[in-house]
Copies of this chain bind each other. A is one copy, B any other.
Amino acid sequence: MILCEIGNTRYHFKQNGRIWSAPCGKVPDLKLEQDEAIYVISVNKRALRRLNAHYPVIDLEPYVSLDTEYQGLGIDRAVACMAVSDGVIVDAGTAITVDVIQNELHLGGFIYPGLAKFQSMYAQISPRLQGAISFAIDPAKLPESTIEAISYGIITPLVCAVYAVARHKQIILTGGDGGYFARYFEGSIVDQSLIFKGMEKIIKGF
């Protein structure tokens, strides 16, 4: 079985237990069984068309069902939420989405810009605000330099807001940058296969 989640910039694959990604800019080279189709979830129609021009795909979008009042929830967020019964999902990619699930009900969520966006935004504000994000900052210690002040300004507000919405629920970190936040959430889980778990749940229901 081959699964593919198509994001804004990358294809994310799971095949035979292996997870990898490739840029959306070109068609990835895949080995499929005869008559095998790729199960797909996509937020990027163009990249989906590009993949489908070379391989047979089965789009899981019509089968996604999540109990929520949220209008316009991204399909990738919905599928990740389907993999969780109770918890808070922090999916840190191009954007950082935070979703709260309780008894398989999606209570809502919010969207924070991704780490790379923050970095380029600070650089645009002033050349003095250019620099790498430091995950050595401590939310309990006020910054005493520009580089600390920027890293703190990205990390601490998110950490505070996630704790505020989590109310002692399990925090699950996913997405390319998810692992960086693990040290800020005691008892959190890093799970890069969350969306694939949601996809597998949908396929099992067929």
Give this chain's copy count.
Answer: 2
Interface positions of A (Cβ within 8 A of B)? 8, 43, 68-72, 74, 94-95, 97-98, 100, 107-114, 117-118, 120-122, 124-126, 128-129, 139, 141-146, 148-150, 152-153, 156-158, 160-161, 163-165
Main secondary structure, interface of A, reads mixed
Chain B residue contacts of A43, Cβ below 8 A: 126
Chain B hits for A114, CB < 8 A: 125
9 CB contacts below 8 A, A to B, read: A71-B145, A72-B146, A94-B125, A95-B122, A97-B149, A107-B142, A108-B142, A111-B152, A156-B164
Tell me, in angstroms, the Cα distance from A39 to B201 when the chains sit together: 67
